[in-house]
Every structure is written in structure tokens, then in C-alpha cells.
Structure 1
Amino acid sequence: MKITTPYYLIDENKLLRNMEIIRQVRQLSGAKSVLALKCFSTWSVFELMRQYMDGTTSSSLFEARLGYEKFGKETHAYCVGYSAEDIRAVTAFADKVIFNSASQLERYYELVKTKKVGLRVNPGISHSHFDLADPARRHSRLGVTDKAVLAAQLPRLSGFMFHYNCENDDYPAFVRQLDYIGEQYGDMLKELEWISLGGGIYFTKEGYPVEAFSRTLADFAKTYGVQIYLEPGESAITGAAELVTRVVDIVQNEINIAIVDASVEGHMLDLLIYRLAAKMEAEQTTGHSYMVAGRSCLAGDVFGTFHFADRLEVGSEIRFADAAGYTMVKKNWFNGLAMPAIAVKRLDGTLEVVRTFDYADFLTSLS
């Protein structure tokens, strides 16, 4: 099947590889995994993912509702700042309602007290390659830092959420962090039913010691008598999708520049936010060099510089890897550029276009 570019292509067989690791962790450790919808919300592959994961976690009312309606199983509702309207709506379907602050918990407890109530804890430690994504950065608003405040709220709570990692693939660092959590909060954990260790633990990365990781989780859960939840986002979908583009022009300005029919600003925004280059599944180190750029009017709309075995020409296909996490959820209509379609390569090899976008979608996104 020939699909008009640009389009996101999700490969279920590549997704399955991550799902099987998540299931292995569940079997070995007892830890449950809920999909972090802030990272990936493309519900056309939820039928596969729900066979391996225990539910979803969210950062807003709309994400929580999407998880409930399209994924099912457990629905964890978290938000940095709920409104009263949010709380009234989310309590209709959420299994767990997690607050970011003690003040929000105080304000809305009467509305949620029939649910499993959680509170986010900021343990003052983190693992992040970027200050922008560091939940324990100075003056962070994410979670409660005062242990006395936490202790005072314990009678209202069934669990704590700790989210302090971002792409942490360092298992020894994870162990040191978890030991710290136990040392600092162990007495309180023994009074709770569950804890979430959040997302950002890159346990599906090639070579990660999954069995040792699982034993560590199992030992912690047994020591403190809690059900552990993980909130994989990137770990659930890493390596499972591409952004497929075609060259629409080639220009020279000291170097060869290939312009494709997509945009970093519009279609892989995280690269721009974190000043990263795009990736290709099998990047070459020799060959014909091109800067590959998007077709928006933003001067810095650049995917990166890559080598190709053959010279590029108008119509050449270029595929960018890892186009699922924090990518499809952030796509936008900047410059009114054509929104990439969404296609899925199913487990049996069938290629299915599950969503296309046209001018009417652009029109109705505005007013």
C-alpha cells in the first residue's frame, strides 16, 4: 500500500517487543504497569497494549477519560492542578485520583474520598539529562517535599506517587534511588497500599538487566507491603514508530540541504524543545551528506545532518525513527502544514491507515 507522506507508522511487532518485557517484569516482580498517556495516546494500538499492561495514567481530565474509554482496566487520574470541574468529572470513572499538592488534596478530598486517593511526593532526587524535564529541579512545583505534611495526610491516602526519572537506563542508579526512597519514607510506606515509581525508567532498553530490576522491585514491595506501579511511556513504545517523509526540494548553501514534507516544529516537536537531532533506524557514517530540514518557515526547523548511500532527489523517502513518544501527542498545525496521517503495521503485516487529516481538521482546530 502506498501512503501519501508525511505519515507516522507504528509497527506492532516492534511494539510487541516492549510489551513482552513489561509482561516479564510483571510476572517476575508483581509490579503493575500503567501506560503514561502524556507520552503516547494513539489508541488504535491499545487493543494490543492492554493485553500486557494494567491500565493508564494521565496528566489531565481528557487523558484520563481517553484511558478509561479506549484502554479500560485501571484508570489513574493525576493532574498538576485540578479545577473543581475536573475533579467532579474525573471521579465518575477514575480508580485512583492522585493530587500534586496537599492544598489540592485538602480542597477536593470530600469529592474524591470514595476513591483510592494518592499524593505525589517530591523526594528531592532525580535522574534527568535535561533541567527542563527534571522533576526535582530547584523551585519545582511537582509534588510535596515536606515529610511532616505527608505524614499529616496519611489517613486520607492509599498511595504515594514518586516520579523522579527521565530516560534513566542506569540500573545501579535506580537501586540507589529506591534505597533512598525506602530510607526516607519507609515508615509511611508501611501504612499505604500502593506506590507508583512513575515513568522514565528505561527498562526496555537493549541490554537492561530486567531480571535484576524485577528482583529489586519484588524485594521493595515485600519489605514495605505495597503494590508497586510503574508508569512506562517511552519504555512502552520506544523504537516502535517512524515519521515517514519525502524530499520536496534540495538547495545548496555551502552544504546540501534536503527539505522534506514534514516539520520538526509541527511533527517532532520534542527534538526542537530539547535541541536534539532526529534518529534513523540504521544511520550511516559515510556516503552523501545532507542537512535534512522541515518545510516550515522556522529557520531552525532542522531534523539533523545525515549520510545517505545514494544522492537524494525530489521524491526520495526519508524515515525518522522513534516518532511515537512525546511526538504524536505534540503534533500541531503550525504554518498550516499537512498533518501526518497515522498508519499501523499490524502483527500479521497488514498495513492500515487509521487516521488522515485534511483542511477541515485544520479549519475546525481554529475559530
Structure 2
Amino acid sequence: MNKDQLKTPYFMIDEAKLIRNLEIAKQLKEISGVKLVLALKCFSTWGVFDIIKPYLDGTTSSGPFEVKLGYEKFGGETHAYSVGYSEDDVREVADICDKMIFNSQSQLAAYRHLVEGKASLGLRLNPGVSYAGQDLANPARKFSRLGVQVDHLNPEVFDSINGVMFHMNCENKDVDAFINLLDAISEQFGEYLNKLDWVSMGGGVFFTWPGYDVEKLGLALKAFSEKHGVQMYLEPGEAIITKTTDLVVTVVDVVENVMKTAIVDSATEAHRLDTLIYNEPASVLEASENGEHQYVIGSCSCLAGDQFCVANFDKPLEIGQKLHIIDSAGYTMVKLNWFNGLKMPSVYCERTNGDIEKLNEFGYDDFKRSLSQWSVS
């Protein structure tokens, strides 16, 4: 399969780049003894799980369908977590997960009888401190519903659970900041942690970022583990798939209203939603910081403010030209939608031997079926 013949829009996952991240994850595990479970809320493209499985210990989820996917397609340890379980949710996954983590003491009390004897019981705690660039993604934000604060804890709960989960980071590239969070957790909850078998520090620790001190992180995790006598877990998502995947699009028109806009056959609203939600402009591989030709890279949706970024180029863009929206794996394929009836991007993987493998493609029937299934008489 020739890349030049592929119809846009499509995602291209680079196996070699994915392995590069996974080798760093392997190094972290060897230094620290930590176990790593892939956060499926960030990346669930199971067509490349064969690449990831040899390096990680399992998966963690945020809803029952993710639990099923992790169990069926990844294996290893399957961690189940939800901000709010229904009884049906718990019954659906209790037999296939290794750990079930509840968000509140009330949910733990209501459903633990359905889990005991089947899975290890856990509770999410909120340390009230965090590292997140945006308040929208800050688990310790004001009035947070995520986890139990220390002043709301019933100490007796630690006599009947096996572990706890903290999640207080979002794209934390600062190892010292993470170590400070570890120290704060140890100080607040240490007497409780000493009673447990395992502790998860959640995700958002960007240990594959260029220049990150992996050894320092590993030694800190190892010290925490030994201090409290617990098996440590991290739940990486973005750290595993960062800079591995491009969203490839085609310029379909160029219009001008003070600035030139290159309209492409994709949309942030439908295909790269976090660009819109967090107001974080995308990056284009073909762009040049000092290029003389500036364009808004605009989507083909009807939403007026739907654009990928503003970028400079050495040469004028032409209709029919392909552009690569880089770093488009995390929180993209898991959030795709059919807004405006736009064509859904296909998903490919470029293997280390140069082969292009098609993982998925979508058509009109998928769009139609997502809206109604049964005929109405």
C-alpha cells in the first residue's frame, strides 16, 4: 500500500515512534518496579495493541466498554474505574476486571458486595494538590467530584480495601513537581497507605517528553513503594503515544478575508476535538517558523471558529496539497464524531518494515447507523 494513494483524511500511526516511547516505559519499569497500565480513555486503537502489550502490564478504564475492550484485546491486568457506576455497570465488569476502583465511599459501600471475591477493591482519593495546565483538566479544582478528600475519609474504609488511586496530573513534564506531589500524598495519607497492597498514581506523568529525567522519577517511585510497602502503578496514556501519529489532510480550498485560510478536509470539532476544547493550536509538519506565507488552517465544518492553527510556510499552499497535523493520537480517535456528516478519518499503521497496515475505515453506513438503526413505520 502506497501512502501517496491513501485518501484523506486519515490517521497514520508510526510503529517505530511508538516503540521509542515504549522503550522509555520499559526503562522506567526496570528502575522503579512500577507497573504501567494503558489509559484507554486516551488511546484505545486496539489494532496496535500487539506493539504495546509486550511493554505494559495491562489497561485501565473509565467506563464499562473500555473495561471489556482491555480485557478482550489487551489482557494482562484489567483495572476498572468510573466516576459513577450504575449497578448494571458493576455487574457487567466485576467478573472480568482485576481491580475495581470506586470514586466515592458511598459507591464502594453500595456495590462492594458485587465485587468481593472477584476483584481487588480500590478507592480514588483526592489529595487536593495537582499539576494541570488548565482548570478544565484539574482533578483538584474547586468543587471537584473526583475522589475522596482527606477530611471526608472514614479511616475504617482502609481495613477493607486493597488499594487506592490518585490522579492529579495532566501533561506533567516536571519530575520535581511530581516528586513534590508524592511527598504531599505521603504526608496526608501515609498512615493509611501502609495498610494497603497497591497504590496507583494515575496518569498525566509525561515521562517520554524530551529531556525528562526518567531515572529520577523511577527512583522516587521506588522509594515511595518501599516506604509504604505497596506495589506502585502509573496509568500512562499520552506518554505512550505522544508524537507517534499524524492526522493527514488535504487542502480543498484557499479563501481570503484579511488573512488567507487554507480549508482542509477535516475538522477539529469532529476529528481533533481537544484542539477546540482546550484552545491549543495544532502543529503542521510542513510549516516553517520563518516562512513568508501565513495561513489559517481552517476546517470544512460549519462552525465559524473551527480551525487547527495559524501557520507559516515557505511556499504558498496549493489546492490538493497534503498536510500532516502532527501528534494526533491522544484523545483524538477516542473522541471522533459525525458532526456535519463529515467523512471519518481512516486509521493506518506504518510498520517498522515500511508496510502500511489498514486498521479501520468508515463509510456512509457507519454514519447512518450511528443515528438510527430501526425503521419507523
Residue 20 of structure 2 is aligned to residue 17 of structure 1: yes
2:94 is equivalent to residue 118 of structure 1? no
1:336 aligns with 2:341: yes
What is the CA RMSD across the aligned residues, in angstroms?
A: 1.0
Mapped to 2, the partners of 1:150 and 1:124 lie a distance apart of 17
For the residue of structure 2 that corresponds to 1:63, the secondary structure is: helix
Q: 1:80 aligns with which of 75, 78, 83?
A: 83
Structure 2 unmatched ranges of 5 or more: 373-377
* 1:1-367 mapped onto 2 (5 Å cutoff): 1=2, 2-114=5-117, 115-147=119-151, 149-281=153-285, 283-287=287-291, 288-367=293-372
Secondary structure of 1:235's aligned partner: helix
Letter in 2 for 1:243: L
CA distance in 2: counterparts of 1:188 and 1:17, whole angstroms = 37
Match of 1:206, SS state, is coil
Residue 346 of structure 1, CA deviation: 1.1
**Percent identity at matched positions?**
51
Matched residue SS, 1:297: coil
* TM-fit CA distance, 1:110: 0.5
Give the TM-score normalised by structure 2: 0.96
- Answer whether contact 1:144 1:150 (CA < 8 A) is retained: no
In 2, the alpha carbon distance for the partners of 1:326 and 1:129 equals 16
- Unmatched tracts of structure 1, length 5 or more: none
Q: Which 4+ runs in 1 deviate beyond 4 A?
A: none
C-alpha deviation, 1:353, in angstroms: 1.5
> Can you list the C-alpha shifts for 1:217-239, whole angstroms capped at 9, x where unaligned?
11110111000000001001000
> 2:361 and 2:154 mapped to 1: Cα distance?
47
Q: Report the alpha carbon displacement of residue 347 of structure 1 after superposing the two structures with TM.
A: 2.0
Name the amino acid aligned to 1:237: I
TM-score, normalization by structure 1: 0.98
Change (3 A) 1:353 1:268: same
Distance in 1 separating the partners of 2:154 and 2:199 = 14
Q: Secondary structure at the match of 2:90?
A: helix
- Deviations 1:304-334 (Å, cap 9, x if unpaired)? 1111222111101111011100111011000
CA distance in 2 between partners of 1:148 and 1:270 (Å): 33
Question: Within 2, Cα distance between the matches of 1:281 and 1:111?
Answer: 50
Q: Which amino acid aligns with 1:302?
A: Q
* Distance in 2 (alpha carbons) for counterparts of 1:336 and 1:120: 39
Equivalents in 2 of 1:319, 1:148: separation in Å? 48
How far residue 282 of structure 1 moved from its aligned partner, in angstroms, is 6.3
Question: Would you say the 8 A contact 2:247–2:328 is kept in 1?
Answer: yes
1:98-117 deviation per Cα after TM superposition (whole angstroms, max 9, x unaligned) = 00000000000100111100
Deviations 1:237-296 (A, max 9, x none): 000101000000011111111000000100000010001111134641122111110000
How far apart are residue 147 of structure 1 and its match? 4.7
Query: Structure 2 CA distance, aligned partners of 1:249 and 1:281?
Result: 19
Mean Cα deviation higher: 255-264 or 308-317: 308-317
**Distance in 1 between residues matched to 2:178 and 2:362, nearest whole Å:** 41
Q: State how far apart, in whole Å, the 1-side matches of 2:227 and 2:353 are.
A: 43
The CA distance in 1 between the partners of 2:200 and 2:189, in whole Å, is 13
C-alpha distance in 2 between matches for 1:21 and 1:225: 25
Per-residue deviation, 1:11: 0.4
- CA change 1:192–1:96 in 2 (3 A) is same
Q: How many residues align?
A: 367
Supply the AA of the counterpart residue of 1:20.
Answer: E
What's the CA shift string for 1:137-185, capped at 9, x where partnerless? Answer: 0100000013562422112210010000001111111111101111111
Conserved in 1, the CA contact under 8 Å of 2:284 and 2:324? yes
- Does the Cα contact within 8 Å between 2:338 and 2:344 map onto a contact in 1? yes
- The CA distance in 1 between the partners of 2:120 and 2:277, in whole Å, is 35
